């Protein structure tokens, strides 16, 4: 969902003003609403932004539209009149005043045009009353968009107006300053002249004494007026940050254009900025009026040479009015930039905006986001976790370390019949034989009852009883391995849904926005149309108009997991969004899911009929099913089977029929849900196609790539080495591998921009390896491999020698990546489906890491190790981890991957903590040396 550019933008664009990343846009080409298209030529084709002005010469007129031809056939002049006719009530009484901005929503129902208008006033020395009323409006034909996004639109337009106004004020102040200097100078010149005239009455200079006196008086009054204006202006100019920003812009500009003529270049640079969006006619004339250096905001008044000016009683207003860019200088640049971003964002369909809003929410905190590559957000580990809740739970856990107590507690609870057996089977687990490890496993007891109020909100739609876990229904949460819920003594009756903050409304919105036909495609046994389907539809819509877009790669955005139980609304089991997310709640949800064995949950990509040729990509994710094990389900053996059955399946396009919901999965395959939303990256189709092809090429041209991917997923740096002739191959390999690289470039403090480098001329230093995880390196022809890389270095990195097609890497022994490799051929014609598959795979892995993180790392077992010596403690801890992960269905190498992903989140959080709270620096990222042998593979 996030383009790579944007991913960096929030970190490097210091102009973020502390707000959450505002535009996580789907860099989609404009998607027109297929069934909203009206035949009326007057109506809008797309949303656009209009800046209009009430010109003192011409009256209301449009100034700029974004995008340039956004208005289409729509008569913007007329609309400008409409906009500007809203009287700003600028009752100018008592001279110069600052006017407050105002925001209005205008609707032109006849034409189905609606606008969010922000009125503001700029100052212009040459204008009447020094003011130039402007209005920037967001024009759309979707009224609901304005209503739903009112707050956002309002705040963004305020921000834009702030740029304009502040830039304008600085320019205006400079002008007035200069004007004042001129006036003072003139006064100084006039006074002696006046005296000479007084003394020398005989000489007839043609100017009478009276006239001179009048002139001087006028001069004096003008000076007073100007001083008042300056005072008023200066009082409002308090935003040092903006000033610094503008200063920096100007500094950069000055440096850049040192040799060139400043003025013309400024004009050019501003013109560049404006881009093609602004009609040339509007630009023409804008740049002519500026005097030397006038456009520069930070001019040095000491260098200004005041001149004598004519003072007449009345000012002339026949001058050409200056353009917006001259009025606002750098503020204009920023404002327009902001408007463009804003347009890019808000032009999207309302349902996209809604989805994005929800997903943006899940980006908080950034340090909890697990990303792969530059754009694929797999999971947010820390979003909206009820800190107090979990904290208290942990503290209880810490204080209780006696397993027996926990077990007896279980058995004493008569409502938990099923858990007795769970407890016993828990005991009988082979790896739990050791009493000591049992201690470590179950020491996390901490059962807390009565999570009241804020925690679990479960709601269900369609009048199903809404169950609110509260004091009356104590939820006892025990251990990071096990979770117990008491709900009227019967678990099967639990029927609730963990929903997003306001799921109904979101759902209905999405639903209403979706095509009824498309909705009917869902032959889901579930009464309600799952939220996900609604989301899918959103893409279906877009796909219909953009047939080039492949559904599968689009779908990757939607790869989202549902929890299904009979009679239960499917929902986005969004661990990361929604206020209820505590590990306990999640687990409970999983358990529910497990209980509803007949229920189905699916994660799928639907295709519209129009895309039938592209087939269907059905990605099933069975992973978190395994968390049943955590939830003390009775049958552990079955569970372990389910571990095995955890799979991602890809159906060959040829044999799949489209527009069908896979109903078969209700009977045989286990229900599943993924504890996350997969916020897939949806950059431009071309980009994703490229990366998809890159991965396809990598997997099919080189063997044993899963070992390399394994290295990436376990934090072992991968060095791709080749001689210069293979540069292209190396770059391709690195770019393809990058998709597997856990990396969060947005995380403050922890981000390393050099995490992945495609082509280096030298081998990186060992000290760089902490941050550098994937590097392409050029090996000099004459230097053999063995001498190029030192033994010490070899121990830390995985080496892919492209020349000799050799790979030196730890061996991967697990199931996740083996699946990927075994499936690689299936995607011959669907390389972008491969990308979706990869993302599904990564999100599955991440989901396990999520569970591991919340249930283990944040639980008591995460900090407990028996033994005294380093060895004993390490061993005991490792045993606990392995025991946990085994139950999670992650064995061998998979367990290592999950551990590392959890570590990544921990690092991000710790780094972020130190970055924000201490000035000593951020802890070093470690290099890992796992005790495993590197092997040489042919690739």
Q: Which range in 541-549, 672-680, 818-826, 917-925 contacts another protein by CB under 8 A?
A: 917-925
Provide φ and ψ at 465, rounded to 5°. Answer: -60, 135
Nearest-approach distance from CB 932 to another protein, in angstroms: 6
778 forms part of the interface with another protein (CB under 8 A): no
791 forms part of the interface with another protein (CB under 8 A): yes
Contact with another protein (CB under 8 A): which of 217, 307, 387, 454?
387
Residue carrying structure tokens 């991957």:
897
851 forms part of the interface with another protein (CB under 8 A): no
Residue 274, classed as helix, strand or coil, is: helix
Alpha-carbon gap, residue 307 to 292, rounded angstroms: 14
874 forms part of the interface with another protein (CB under 8 A): yes
Q: For the chain, give the number of residues.
A: 939
Give the pair of three-digit tokens for residue 682. 């949806």
Taking the least distance from each CB to another protein, the nearer of 700 and 866 is 866
Q: Which range in 244-252, 570-578, 592-600, 919-927 contacts another protein by CB under 8 A?
A: 919-927
Taking the least distance from each CB to another protein, the nearer of 341 and 768 is 768
Taking the least distance from each CB to another protein, the nearer of 34 and 926 is 926
Using DSSP bridges, classify how beta strands 798-801 and 806-810 pair: parallel, antiparallel or unpaired: antiparallel
877 forms part of the interface with another protein (CB under 8 A): yes
Contact with another protein (CB under 8 A): which of 193, 254, 511, 873?
873
The secondary structure of residue 736, as a DSSP letter, is H
Q: Is the peptide bond before 67 cis (omega within 30 degrees of 0)?
A: yes
279 forms part of the interface with another protein (CB under 8 A): no
Taking the least distance from each CB to another protein, the nearer of 553 and 896 is 896
Strand partners, 369: 380
Taking the least distance from each CB to another protein, the nearer of 683 and 912 is 912
For the chain, first and last CA: distance in Å? Answer: 33
Taking the least distance from each CB to another protein, the nearer of 427 and 731 is 427
Contact with another protein (CB under 8 A): which of 188, 872, 936, 938?
872
Nearest-approach distance from CB 248 to another protein, in angstroms: 29
Nearest-approach distance from CB 768 to another protein, in angstroms: 9
858 forms part of the interface with another protein (CB under 8 A): yes
E-assigned strands of 531-598?
562-563, 571-572
Q: Which range in 78-86, 527-535, 661-669, 928-936 contacts another protein by CB under 8 A?
A: 928-936
CA nearest neighbour of 67 among 331, 285, 274: 274
Residue carrying structure tokens 């025991």:
883
Nearest-approach distance from CB 735 to another protein, in angstroms: 28
Provide the b/e sequence for 8-42 (b: ≥16 CB within 10 Å).
bbbbeeebeeeeebbbbbbbbeebebeeeeeeeee
Pattern 229-258, binding to another protein, x per CB under 8 A?
------------------------------
Q: Which range in 193-201, 438-446, 482-490, 864-872 contacts another protein by CB under 8 A?
A: 864-872
Nearest-approach distance from CB 452 to another protein, in angstroms: 17
Alpha-carbon gap, residue 614 to 649, rounded angstroms: 17
Taking the least distance from each CB to another protein, the nearer of 276 and 791 is 791
Give the pair of three-digit tokens for residue 837. 């598959």
CA nearest neighbour of 615 among 642, 653, 662: 653
Contact with another protein (CB under 8 A): which of 96, 298, 304, 914?
914
Nearest-approach distance from CB 840 to another protein, in angstroms: 27
Alpha-carbon gap, residue 403 to 414, rounded angstroms: 19
785 forms part of the interface with another protein (CB under 8 A): no
Residue carrying structure tokens 């084709």:
45
Q: Which range in 34-42, 219-227, 300-308, 865-873 contacts another protein by CB under 8 A?
A: 865-873
Strand partners, 131: 123
Give the pair of three-digit tokens for residue 477. 């949460």
878 forms part of the interface with another protein (CB under 8 A): yes
Alpha-carbon gap, residue 494 to 596, rounded angstroms: 9
391 forms part of the interface with another protein (CB under 8 A): yes
Query: What is the DSSP annotation of 812-875?
Result: P-SSHHHHHHHHGGGGTT-HHHHHHHHHHHHHHHHHHHHHIIIIIITSGGGG----SSHHHHHH
Contact with another protein (CB under 8 A): which of 108, 434, 501, 803?
434
- Which residues make up the interface to another protein (CB under 8 A)? 382, 385, 387-388, 390-392, 394-395, 434, 436, 766-767, 770, 790-792, 795-796, 856-858, 862-875, 877-878, 881, 899, 902-903, 906-907, 909-910, 913-914, 920-933
């Amino acid at each position: 969902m996030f383009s790579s550019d944007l991913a960096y933008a929030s970190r490097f664009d210091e102009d973020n003003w502390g707000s959450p990343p505002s535009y996580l846009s789907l860099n989609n080409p404009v998607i027109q609403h297929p069934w909203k298209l009206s035949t009326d030529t007057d109506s809008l084709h797309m949303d656009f932004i209009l800046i209009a002005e009430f010109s003192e010469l011409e009256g209301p007129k449009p100034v700029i539209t974004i995008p340039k031809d956004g208005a289409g056939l729509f008569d913007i002049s007329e609309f400008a009149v409409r906009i500007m006719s809203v009287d700003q009530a600028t009752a100018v009484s008592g001279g110069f005043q600052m006017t407050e901005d105002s925001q209005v929503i205008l609707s032109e129902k006849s034409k189905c045009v609606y606008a969010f208008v922000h009125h503001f006033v700029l100052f212009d020395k040459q204008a009447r009353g020094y003011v130039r009323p402007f209005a920037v409006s967001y024009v759309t034909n979707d009224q609901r968009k304005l209503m739903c996004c009112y707050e956002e639109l309002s705040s963004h337009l305020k921000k834009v107006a702030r740029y304009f106004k502040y830039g304008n004020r600085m320019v205006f102040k400079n002008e007035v300053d200069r004007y004042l200097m001129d006036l003072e100078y003139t006064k100084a010149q006039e006074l002696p002249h006046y005296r000479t005239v007084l003394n020398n009455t005989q000489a007839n200079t043609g100017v009478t004494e009276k006239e001179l006196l009048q002139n001087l008086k006028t001069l004096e009054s003008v000076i007073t007026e100007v001083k008042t204006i300056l005072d008023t202006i200066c009082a409002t100019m308090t935003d040092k940050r903006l000033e610094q920003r503008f200063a920096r812009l100007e500094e950069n500009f000055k440096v850049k254009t040192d040799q060139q003529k400043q003025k013309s270049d400024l004009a050019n640079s501003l013109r560049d900025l404006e881009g093609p969006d602004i009609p040339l006619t509007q630009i023409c004339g804008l740049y002519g009026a500026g005097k030397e250096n006038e456009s520069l905001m930070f001019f040095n008044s000491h260098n200004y040479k005041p001149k004598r000016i004519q003072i007449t009683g009345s000012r002339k207003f026949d001058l050409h009015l200056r353009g917006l860019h001259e009025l606002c200088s750098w503020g204009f640049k920023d404002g327009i930039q902001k408007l463009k971003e804003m347009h890019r964002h808000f032009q999207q369909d309302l349902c996209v905006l809604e989805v994005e809003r929800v997903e943006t929410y899940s980006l908080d905190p950034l340090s909890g986001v697990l990303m792969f590559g530059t754009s694929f957000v797999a999971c947010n580990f820390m979003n909206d976790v009820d800190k107090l809740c979990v904290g208290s739970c942990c503290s209880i856990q810490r204080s209780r370390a006696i397993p027996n107590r926990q077990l007896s507690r279980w058995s004493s609870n008569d409502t938990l019949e099923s858990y007795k057996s769970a407890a016993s089977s828990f005991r009988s687990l082979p790896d739990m034989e050791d009493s000591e490890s049992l201690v470590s496993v179950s020491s996390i007891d901490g059962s807390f009852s009565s999570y009241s109020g804020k925690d679990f909100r479960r709601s269900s739609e369609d009048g199903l009883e809404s169950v609110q876990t509260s004091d009356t229904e104590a939820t006892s949460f025990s251990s990071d391995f096990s979770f117990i819920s008491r709900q009227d003594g019967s678990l099967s009756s639990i029927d609730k849904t963990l929903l997003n903050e306001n799921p109904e409304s979101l759902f209905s919105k999405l639903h209403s926005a979706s095509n009824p036909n498309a909705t009917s495609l869902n032959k889901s046994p579930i009464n309600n149309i799952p939220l996900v389907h609604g989301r899918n539809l959103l893409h279906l819509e877009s796909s219909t108009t953009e047939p080039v877009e492949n559904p599968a790669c689009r779908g990757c955005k939607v790869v989202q997991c549902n929890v299904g139980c009979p009679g239960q609304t499917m929902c986005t089991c969004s661990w990361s969004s929604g206020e209820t997310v505590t590990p306990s709640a999640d687990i409970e949800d999983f358990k529910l899911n497990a209980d509803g064995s007949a229920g189905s949950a699916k994660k799928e990509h639907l295709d519209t009929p129009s895309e039938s040729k592209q087939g269907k990509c059905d990605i099933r994710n069975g992973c978190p099913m395994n968390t049943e094990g955590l939830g003390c389900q009775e049958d552990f053996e079955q569970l372990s089977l389910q571990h095995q059955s955890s799979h991602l399946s890809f159906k060959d396009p040829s044999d799949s029929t489209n527009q069908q919901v896979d109903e078969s999965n209700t009977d045989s395959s286990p229900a599943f849900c993924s504890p996350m939303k997969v916020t897939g990256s949806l950059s431009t189709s071309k980009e994703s196609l490229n990366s998809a092809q890159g991965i396809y090429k990598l997997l099919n041209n080189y063997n044993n790539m899963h070992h390399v991917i394994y290295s990436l997923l376990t934090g072992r740096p991968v060095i791709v080495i080749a001689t210069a002739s293979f540069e292209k191959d190396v770059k391709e390999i690195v770019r393809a591998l990058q998709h597997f690289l856990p990396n969060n470039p947005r995380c403050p403090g922890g981000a390393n921009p050099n995490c992945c480098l495609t082509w280096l001329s030298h081998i990186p230093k060992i000290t760089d390896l902490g941050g550098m995880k994937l590097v392409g390196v050029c090996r000099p022809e004459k230097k053999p491999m063995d001498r190029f890389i030192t033994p010490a270095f070899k121990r830390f990195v995985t080496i892919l020698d492209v020349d000799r097609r050799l790979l030196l890497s730890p061996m991967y022994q697990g199931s996740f990546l083996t699946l990927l490799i075994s499936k690689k051929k299936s995607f011959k014609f669907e390389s972008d489906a491969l990308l979706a598959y990869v993302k599904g795979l990564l999100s599955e892995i991440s989901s396990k890491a999520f569970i591991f993180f919340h249930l283990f790392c944040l639980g008591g077992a995460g900090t407990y190790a028996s033994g005294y010596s380093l060895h004993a403690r390490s061993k005991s801890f490792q045993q606990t981890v392995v025991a946990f992960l085994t139950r999670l269905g992650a064995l061998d190498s998979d367990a290592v991957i999950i551990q590392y992903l959890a570590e990544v989140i921990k690092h991000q959080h710790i780094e972020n903590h130190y970055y924000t709270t201490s000035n000593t620096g951020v802890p070093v990222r470690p290099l890992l040396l796992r005790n495993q042998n590197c092997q040489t593979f042919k690739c």
